[in-house]
Structure 1
Amino acid sequence: MKLIILDRDGVINEDSDAFVKSVEEWIPLPGSIEAIARLSKAGWTVAVATNQSGLARGYFSEETLEAMHRRLRELVAEQGGRVDLIRHCPHAPDDGCDCRKPLSGLFRSIAEHYQVSLNGVPTVGDSLRDLQAGVAVGCRPYLVRTGKGAQTEQKALPEGTRVFDNLAAVVTHLLEN
């Protein structure tokens, strides 16, 4: 199985310091939907691992989050692809869970779902915590400059991190190599 794990906000859709709180605020980044569809049509299994502390903070409901994810899946399906699995952490930063990135609970959940090792599995994020969560379970880190990625690029990145302008560029690289 060719598996990839994507962060959501800042990688697939626009990020917001005020949180993405509705389907109307969930705006895909240029080229991201098509990129996911290209991966899917090439035989990749596409999983999403996303912190969504806006749930714990009361900014939006589980139903609203599901509506955003339904919209993501619909847009990718319109391009002939699919998002196979979405895992989210609903907790606030101080809740003490093991699923909030930079911890690796979401990644372990994806690995358990598919009964696979994550060694060498590409993970794409725009923040250091996205990359750290994946690297801790053996993923190969890819940083995109979208979202918070340009600021993240200035930090000390995990060893072996590859940096690309956006998700579409990562996908082109993966499909050509």
Structure 2
Amino acid sequence: MIKKKAIFLDRDGVINEVLSKRVKFVNKPSDFYLLDGVGEAIKRLNEMDYKVFVVTNQGGVGLGYMEEAALHKVHEKMESDLSAYGATIDDVAYCPHKPHEGCACRKPEPQMIIDLSNKYDIELSESYMVGDREPDIEAGKKAGTKTVLVGNRDKEKVDADYYFNDLLIFSTWLIG
């Protein structure tokens, strides 16, 4: 059986705004705004037969800033917003633990990526982890994916395989 390829996406800063003029943190659906080009980019990834997953640290749950039910509603809003572009997410994995809690799932640990890979029979060496911060890239490297840093927040200090301004430019590059 042929294993599938996947794109693992960090959420905040890759798919949606965070630390912007409009929103500081995404703790409820009304805080969720897709970044420009993301719907089109994910639709392209879908059309290229990549499985598309979201892997996101959500320490706000462990810290008590939001309930898991609210997090699920944020993810429902994300999926609804993406569906307007004909784009779909195959699955969402999240770490609800506090920062520095020492769990195996919080990025830079690779557990969310590995669990999705096992669940969906993904070939990690043919897949990409796309993030906007060093922990995303570290998690991808530990899991055995190629790594992509988007945005310019951590560009100088992150050793990613590829660098792009945003997800749309990455998807255009991937098409060839």
Normalised to the residue count of structure 2, the TM-score between the two structures is 0.91
Overall identity of the aligned pairs, in %: 35
Question: What residue in structure 1 maps to residue 175 of structure 2?
Answer: 175
Question: What residue in structure 2 maps to residue 66 of structure 1?
Answer: 72
* Cα distance between partner residues in 1 of 2:153 and 2:85: 31
* Cα distance between partner residues in 2 of 1:84 and 1:113: 11
* Cα distance between partner residues in 2 of 1:71 and 1:135: 30
Q: Map 1:1-177 onto structure 2 (within 5 A).
A: 1-16=4-19, 18-145=24-151, 150-158=152-160, 161-176=161-176
Q: Is the 2:104–2:111 contact (alpha carbons within 8 Å) kept by the matching residues of 1?
A: yes
Which structure 2 residue ranges, 5 or more long, are not aligned?
Answer: none
Offset, 1:166: 0.3
* Cα distance between partner residues in 2 of 1:48 and 1:156: 20
Secondary structure at 1:46 match in 2 = strand
Which is richer in helix?
2
* Cα distance between partner residues in 1 of 2:51 and 2:123: 14
Q: Is the 1:6–1:46 contact (alpha carbons within 8 Å) kept by the matching residues of 2?
A: yes
Q: Is the 2:27–2:74 contact (alpha carbons within 8 Å) kept by the matching residues of 1?
A: no
What is the alpha-carbon root mean square deviation over aligned residues?
Answer: 1.5
**Counterpart residue type for residue 153 of structure 1:** K
Offset, 1:156: 4.2
Secondary structure at 2:105 match in 1 = coil
| 1:77-130 Cα shifts (integer Å, max 9, x gaps) | 221221001000000012220000001111111111112331131111000110
Which structure 1 residue ranges, 5 or more long, are not aligned?
Answer: none
